[in-house]
Amino acid sequence: MAITRSRRHRPRVEIINMVDVMFFLLAFFMVFTTFRTNPSTLNLDLPRAVTATREAPSEVVVSIDRSGRYFLNGRAVSLAQMSTLVGDSVRRHPDQLVIVRADREVQYDRVVQAIDALRRAGAYRLGLAVQTSGASSP
């Protein structure tokens, strides 16, 4: 009696499917890491300045949207609340830098009120956020 053995096939790893998965993962991360993240999550149209310098991220960011509402680190606050909260932060960290981000359409009076409230709270290291402009004009 003759026994015929079938030839045993070696196991193979099909990499075509893995290449597809890796391509989709690569495309996913390329697309989603290009989105700009903004800590305050407010859509403000900042004024432009040629002489602007980039500062290290600050713990305290005061934003004023085009309707004149105040935000402290992305949370809506009143002028009195902002003054109290910033005062507490400045007492803990006396060298704290406070960045004021105001939409270019906001009334100048609202910016002055915010700066005045911040100074009354003890914040004297203030900065105004602007967009950098590539071209210099005389």
Q: Where are the domains of the chain?
A: 48-132
Tell me which architecture the domain covering 48-132 has in CATH: 2-Layer Sandwich (3.30)
CA distance 134 to 131: 10
Enumerate residue ranges in the chain where pLDDT < 70: 1, 34-44, 53-58, 133-138
- Asked whether 103 and 45 are in contact (CB, 8 A), the reply is yes
Task: Residue 65: count other Cβ atoms within 10 Å of its Cβ.
Answer: 20
pLDDT of residue 55: 60
pLDDT of residue 138: 43
pLDDT of residue 35: 57
Helix axes 79-92, 108-120, angle to 10 degrees: 40
pLDDT of residue 64: 92
In eight-state DSSP terms, residue 102 is E
pLDDT of residue 46: 73
Read off the pLDDT of residues 43-75 as tens digits, 9 standing for 90 and up. Answer: 667 777 777 766 655 578 899 998 889 999 888
CA distance 10 to 8: 6
pLDDT of residue 38: 46
